[in-house]
Every structure is written in C-alpha cells, then in structure tokens.
A and B are shown apart, each in its own frame.
Chain A
Amino acid sequence: MNECLSEFALDDHALHGHSDAVVVEHLNGCQACRVRFERRQAQVCEFQATLAAPTWTRVRAEAATRRRARRRVLPWAVIAGGAAAMLLLVVLPRRPPGSLGPTAKGSSLAEIVCRRGERTFVIGTGDEVSPGDRLRFRPLPIWSQARYIQVGSVDGTGGYSAFYPAGDGVSVALPARGEPLGGSIRLDDAPGPERLFVVLSATPLSTRDVRRAAEAHAVDGERVARIGGADVVSAWMTLPKRGGSSAAP
C-alpha cells in the first residue's frame, strides 16, 4: 500500500512540488500512480468548473453569518465572564499571605506521599512537611506525550539539588500510570520552604539544562515551557516546612 505515492504526496506535488525529483521519477515509472494523479486532476478540474464559484458564495455567506453571531455573543460573554470573576473574588476566601500550598505556583504534576514515622499520607494544600519526612512522588497523567520526568529542589540559598535522577544524568522514564517513582526523598533539617521543581518531557533532558532553568526561575516561580530546545510541562510545588529550607535525597 505504501510503495506508491500517497494522496497527500500527489496533492503536495500538484500544489507545491513540481520540482520534486523523487515524485516525478515515481510518476514516470508507475502507471498506477499516474492514473491516480490524472484522476485527481480531473476531479479538481470538475470542481473548479462546476462547484467552485457557488460553493465560495456559500462559504463567504456562512463565514459572515458566524462572524456576526460572534460579535453578538462576544459582549455578553465578556459581561458574563466579568460577573463570574467578580463572584469568585467575593465568594472565594483569600489565602493569607505566606501560606503556600503544594501547588501554589502552577498545577501539580505529581501527587506527593509523605511518610512521617508510622504515618503515611498524601500531602494536601497547606500541609507542612518536617525534617526527617520521606517523600515519594506519584506522577499524574497531565500530558499524554510525557515520557520522562525530572524532580529537583531549590533551597533557601538558590542552590539546586536533583532528586530524580539523583546527581548528574538525564530524565528518568515515567513509571506505569498510577505508580510512584522509585525510592524516596528524605528531608533534612535546614529551615525554610521546600521549592520542588517537576518537569515532564517527551524526550530525556539533561540535569544540567533543568538545573539552569530551575535556578533562573526559582525566584519568580514561573512555569518553564521549553528546556534544552524541547517542549516541557513544568510546575513548582512549594511546601511549607517546620524549620527547614533545603532537602537531600
């Protein structure tokens, strides 16, 4: 099936590729493709001769109708959106300054499970972590193209520690859906919040590139969309900590 030229290749050749030597050579040597190409040209000519003009009239009329409809709806949509925003501002309780949740910057890319003594729990908004806590990360299926993950932390001095992978290397493969990353991270006793940086990517990234991105955006807490030339989905997760600001694996 795929030895001959596809319809896409024939269309591309007819529209843009008259100098494409491979296509021309194949067409010269393949009777079946030549017949298909001529049939395609005949259908295009038939459309141009009989249907193109009346269809274009319908296209323009329909496009104008939809444009008018959008203009009518847009002011109401803006008013409704504004009203909804005002309502949210009034109804939603304001977060007190300084009380950062685990997804204070950006949406969460991983569920964090904390082991504290004999107790194991999933960290929720406002939960504090403590020195000695062990954290496990269960990646969430946020981005269908994600195949790799990196997790690290920026401490109070702005220094970056890579957790997954530990030390230098490249991103680790995502585990099966619902499974946590292997091993756990033990928090040390330095004071301050834990600022975790989680990066999902379709291809492995070097820890050096991720470290550079984390250190550049640790202060503003902005999400990073590209690292090392690749599209990524990233998020900061700031965890309040009782008497600590850095973490060690």
Chain B
Amino acid sequence: MTDAEVAQAYRDYAGPVYARAVRVLRDREAARDVTQEVFVRCFGHRPRLPAGRELLAWLYRVTTNLCLNALRDGKLRGRADRDAARQSPTTVAPEGPSRRGLWDLLSGLGARTQAIVVYVYIDGMTHAEAAEVAQVTDRTVRNCLARFQKRARTRLGGELASNLEGEFS
C-alpha cells in the first residue's frame, strides 16, 4: 500500500474501528487512542496490508489486541467519558458499565483466547467468523471458549450466565 492508499483506508475504516473500540472498551478517549495506534501500525505494515474483507479482519485483530492491552494496563477513563456524554446528550454515548470487570474475567488467559472471547461474546461472531478473523480453526475457537467458560464459571459461580450477559452485552 502507498501512503495515499493508507489514507484512503483511514477514510473508509477509521470510523468502524473507532466504533468497535468504543464498544469493546466503553471509553471514548481510550477508543480514540486505539484508533490512532491501529492506523500508525497500518503505516508500519504497508507492504503487507491486505484489502477488502481481509483488511477488515486484520483491523479487527489489531484493534482487539490494543483494546486488550488497554484493559490490562487500566488505561480506561470511563468516568470522564460518561461525564462528557452527560454534557453532550446528542452524541452517541458508550453503553453500560465500565469494562474494568471484563479484564478480571480475561486475565490469566492466553492472548488468543482473550481475543476469541471478545470476537464471540462482544462482537457476536459465529465460531466460523471468529476462526476467520483469528486465523485459527473452528476447533481452536471451541477450545478457547471452553477454557474461558471454565475460568468464568470458577470466578462467577452459579451466576455465570447472567453475569456474562451483563459483562459482555
């Protein structure tokens, strides 16, 4: 990709990347930081960047990794973000509670499992879609989800279903 093609990719994909980062992080400032970093990396990977649906999948992978890093590093500024949203009710506000609790469920799992949990539980992907985006087999997706569910069950006890729904919806 040339610089001009990266600029075009930014025009086409930055909005969806930002919207997705907001959805995963529920934090606008952190989502903007993630969006910026995603496209800085686009410049770094210019020679190898795919196009079309494959580019979208690549952007999902990079965005997911950066969002997980933000969750891990506790870089979320949810309170300031919600205050801003109250002052400007016409804008689209992040929904639901802070994602800080999400990291409690994901911490200790491998990076691939964490990403697959995000794809399936937050993005609502089918196993086939998650496999396509993560570049793994359906079986790996199933195994990763089983590992996560076992971990979540241990941490959340009998309230697994309702707690998961609250955390991920």
Contact = CB atoms under 8 A, between A and B. Distances in A.
Interface of A: 1-2, 4-9, 11-12, 14-16, 39-40, 42-48, 51-52, 55-56, 58-59, 62-63, 66-67
Contact of B16 (A6, A14, A39): A14
B19 interface: yes
Contacts of B53: 12, 16
18 contacts: A1-B120, A2-B125, A7-B122, A7-B124, A11-B16, A15-B13, A15-B56, A43-B92, A44-B15, A44-B16, A47-B19, A55-B32, A55-B35, A56-B14, A58-B36, A59-B36, A62-B36, A63-B44
Contacts of A40: 16, 19
Contacts, number: 99
Given A47-B15, A55-B14, A11 B20 contact: yes
Contacts of B126: 2, 6
B123 A63 contact: no
B103 interface: no
Contact of B12 (A15, A45, A63): A15
Nearest to A36: B124
A59 B10 contact: yes
A51 B43 contact: no
A192 B16 CA distance: 63
A40 B127 CA distance: 22
A163 to B, nearest CB: 28
Contact of B129 (A6, A39, A51, A52): A6
Nearest to A59: B39
Contacts of B14: 47-48, 52, 55-56
A9 B40 contact: no
B91 interface: yes
Nearest to A7: B123
Contact of A55 (B20, B36, B44, B121): B36
B23 A63 contact: no
A51 B30 CA distance: 13
A6 B123 contact: yes
Contacts of B13: 15
Contacts of B39: 55-56, 59, 63
A1 B124 contact: yes
Given A51-B32, A62-B36, A43 B124 contact: no
A92 to B, nearest CB: 34
Given A7-B122, A40-B19, A48-B14, 13 more contacts: A6-B124, A6-B125, A8-B125, A40-B16, A44-B16, A44-B18, A44-B19, A51-B32, A55-B32, A55-B35, A55-B39, A56-B7, A59-B39
